Amino acid sequence: MEVESDSHIHMCWQVLSARTKKWPLADIISTVEFNYSGDLLATGDKGGRVVIFQREQENKSRPHSRGEYNVYSTFQSHEPEFDYLKSLEIEEKINKIRWLPQQNAAHFLLSTNDKTIKLWKISERDKRAEGYNLKDEDGRLRDPFRITALRVPILKPMDLMVEASPRRIFANAHTYHINSISVNSDHETYLSADDLRINLWHLEITDRSFNIVDIKPANMEELTEVITAAEFHPHQCNVFVYSSSKGTIRLCDMRSSALCDRHSKFFEEPEDPSSRSFFSEIISSISDVKFSHSGRYMMSRDYLSVKVWDLNMESRPLETHQVHEYLRSKLCSLYENDCIFDKFECCWNGSDSAIMTGSYNNFFRMFDRDTRRDVTLEASRESSKPRASLKPRKVCTGGKRKKDEISVDSLDFNKKILHTAWHPADSVIAVAATNNLYIFQGKIN
């Protein structure tokens, strides 16, 4: 197992696929998610579209495909809507996509915008029935009186067609903007969370949901925190967590009560008073929370760091990894240009030994939990020639800038990587950089 001893993150990361588009704003990728097997990768964008990529099977006839991801299906999931009662436009931007475990030949995923969650069925069709009696090949109905003989339709192969159809629409359950959905390990229910409430749904039932968390104060003037992310435990179907804008994470057990306003566990790291600033509250707001695959740990992402928590220890995180601490002195500028409100996501690798999250200037960071090493890589067109290896990058935080380093002031804050995903088993990662999607494969060097 010599191979395993080397740091996951210090592999040679090569471009597997790079889908770059020059399309306008609507194509900013807003979510990226591998399915359970990793063969499918779904992306949602600001225009309400979902694009699914499928991994090519490596086969002898095409040895160089190396398991590339190619477009499998594209469909419009959500359209812009208008709430006439409140005179509000509802954005079609896809906030989250979550796959359901595969149970038959079709694939199912949940996609959500600010208000409505939809269950989509993606199925393949590679056969077509021919030889109907009541309609001819063009589909026109035949006059029954003219039929003189009967035949049995036969199935003929056709070009593969991938169809996406909405099977369920879960609407009108959220007053505030939905920020998370999470499929339960029972594969029958899922939760959806908005700023103040979390609802529990059954996948088969669209006309009702159960409210399991409600932090809306009786007097909205007393509002001090909102829910920022929520997720079910990967194995315990009664446990879920939700994070707040105050930097806290609450773990709730649905067996304890119908309304889980009282948490079972409360995870918070005491604030360091010496680092207090105007923006302390903003940067402590948690933008993403993810359970590890094992279910023993969870990870939270706030503006400057990623923290790994042990579910058995509420008082402080197990590990804290600084993503871009050099931005701490720039918080005022980042507040002005709104970057401080960016919500970065984070993800685990399949073995929970490494974590990854995005940063600015199209940089993303990987942290190896075993070796305590980290690396900064860049997802850009220049560094994405096929089979090119990503070079580790470094940000110069002060003093003399070495060659190949980038100074903090030259970082491009418009190029942000908010969404990343890691293949559930292999060393394959998907990185969304604005409206470009990069898929990298790691090879031990």
Partner 1 sequence: MEFKLEAHRIVSISLGKIYNSRVQRGGIKLHKNLLVSLVLRSARQVYLSDPCPGLYLAGPAGIPAPPPQQLGEPAAGPPAGWGEPPPPAAGASWADTEPQPEGSAVSEAPRVGDAVPEATVTGVGVVPQGGAADAAKAAWSRVEGPRQAAAGEAEGPAGGWGVFPLGSRASRRPCGCPLGGEDSSGTPAATPRAACCCAPRPAEDEPPAPPAVCPRKRGAAGVGGGPTSFPAPGSTPLKKPRRNLEQPPSGGEDDDTEEMDTGNVANLISIFGSSFSGLLRKSPGGGREEEEGEKSGPEAAEPGQICCDKPVLRDMNPWSTAIVAF
The single residue among 62, 127, 262, 276 that binds partner 1, judged by CB under 8 A, is: 276
| Footprint on residues 33-62 left by partner 1 (CB under 8 A) | none
For 360, which DSSP code?
A: B
Site string for partner 1, 168-197 (x = CB under 8 A): -------xxx-x---------------xx-
**Closest C-alpha among 257, 283, 253, 252 to residue 267:** 252
Binding flag, residue 222, partner 1 (CB under 8 A) = yes
Residue 91 or 231 having the CB closest to partner 1: 91
Question: Encoding tokens for residue 86?
Answer: 């409140």
Among 25, 161, 259, 332, binds partner 1 (CB under 8 A): 332
- What's the order of all strands across the beta sheet hosting 419-422? 12-19, 436-443, 428-433, 419-422
The single-letter code of the amino acid at 226 is V
> Which amino acid does the sequence have at 354?
A
Q: Among residues 259 and 332, whose Cβ is nearest to partner 1? A: 332
> Is the separation of the CB atoms in 284 and 247 below 8 Å?
yes
Told to check if 270 binds partner 1 by CB under 8 A, we report no
**In angstroms, what CA-CA distances link 307 with 66, 195, 273, 439?**
34, 22, 19, 25
| Interface mask toward partner 1 for 95-124; x: CB under 8 A | -------------------x----------
**In terms of CB distance, is 215 or 425 closer to partner 1?**
215
Nearest to 182 by CA among 233, 225, 226: 233
Q: Is 225 in the site for partner 1 (CB under 8 A)?
A: yes
**CB of residue 74 vs partner 1: minimum separation in angstroms?**
23
We find the least distance from the C-beta atom of residue 254 to partner 1, in angstroms, to be 25
Can you tell me the distance from the alpha carbon of 420 to that of 158, in angstroms, rounded to the nearest whole number?
36
| 285 contacts partner 1 (rule: CB under 8 A) | yes
- Residue 213 Cβ, how far from partner 1 at the closest point, in Å? 15
**What number of chain residues touch partner 1 (CB under 8 A)?**
38
Q: For the CB of residue 334, give the shortest distance to partner 1 in the complex, in Å.
A: 11
Cα Rg of the chain (Å, integer): 24
CB-based contact 352:297 (threshold 8 Å): yes
Nearest to 109 by CA among 127, 121, 95, 92: 121
Place of tokens 């990987």: 366
**Among positive and negative, which fits the CA dihedral 327, 330, 331, 333?**
negative
87 makes contact with partner 1 (CB under 8 A) = yes
| 127 sits near partner 1 (criterion: CB under 8 A) | no
Is residue 273 near partner 1 by the rule CB under 8 A? yes
For the bound state, the minimum distance from the C-beta of residue 245 to partner 1, rounded and expressed in Å, comes to: 6
Which residues are at the interface with partner 1 (CB under 8 A)? Answer: 85-91, 93, 114, 175-177, 179, 195-196, 219-226, 228, 245, 273, 276, 278-282, 285, 332, 335-336, 338, 341
